Structure 1
């Protein structure tokens, strides 16, 4: 059984009332994986905006394996110290990682963030030397659209991320850089310029699914499904 762990920030944990891209990925894998799989991770909840805490189980459809390692306001900086124990305890085989916006927005510059990517990879591999990882660059967001220096930092980080992934990739523990979802539009695919709406959830799931299909022949090409 392949055990997938979604790792990310607010775009991955989602908030009360949403399906999340994790759900969209589960639906896709259920139809196309050709074998048993699971979503794993030490957390299960959504973020509750009213409570300002990750305490909600109010998924739009709760009937799926909701486990993950994602947090509202968390980035590479926060996940690097946690990933080893999460991989070890949950026996994760494949990490689906979407991080970076929070780091660049509040904590670290592009170079420092890239160093935290290296620490994250090292921690994951220490726990499972054969772990596979699919990493999504920082995708379009409202701040980058209006803040030129921030947009430049995002572009620099995405360039450093690509180099880091290429540098650390190895046959026994492959690293895969997913592509930014084609034609991703912050006005159509998000509800606030950053967080994905239903179409954005599908686009994020598609980015991971297409990367795995094209590079590893895992699953099939992505088709948006309601379940």
Structure 2
């Protein structure tokens, strides 16, 4: 509970005092700024804690496993699957089916018009940014008992996450959810039948999708 709230709050400060200053520029500048900040935070934490990582024990209530007949599923991995799906569906519902989500989508299309209607668009963007980063922190908490907790535990996932977003289509929440699940299944099957290609199969899929549908599977053409 504390990690998503803390990291989300920190990200809101970053958006308010740094990203907002370059909001009128191309989105690439925001990407470069946040990437640079990530390197600074990562290097600072490595200086204090090193890169070896530390183990985070699985909660006692989620230890053990489930015998499904055709496989043995660890209880904690089942919990991670359920929690991740629940959070994905909650995010989709908030953005696509609520008035707050409608304000957010309208604000990204025409912020000046929304402000003329009395909507505080800058505050809405700050809260949305904090919620998005808080989701990333929540994912880190879920991964803690599965992978060593270290400053670099998220670095290897950045390029994979980028590929998933590109395949699903920019701006499509459901596209990102379905693509993430689909790519996870494809990568898992590749590890079983052809392990050598497990680290590249997602990028091969991304190349094929971009060749056939540049906007992504669920994205809209400009």
Structure (1/2) with the larger helix percentage: 2
Asked if Structure 1 and Structure 2 have the same fold, meaning a TM-score greater than 0.5 normalized by the shorter chain, the answer is no
Structure (1/2) with the larger strand percentage: 1
Mark the structure with the bigger radius of gyration: 2
For the superposition of Structure 1 and Structure 2, which TM-score range results when normalised by the shorter chain? under 0.3
User: TM-score scaled to structure 1, two decimals?
Assistant: 0.27
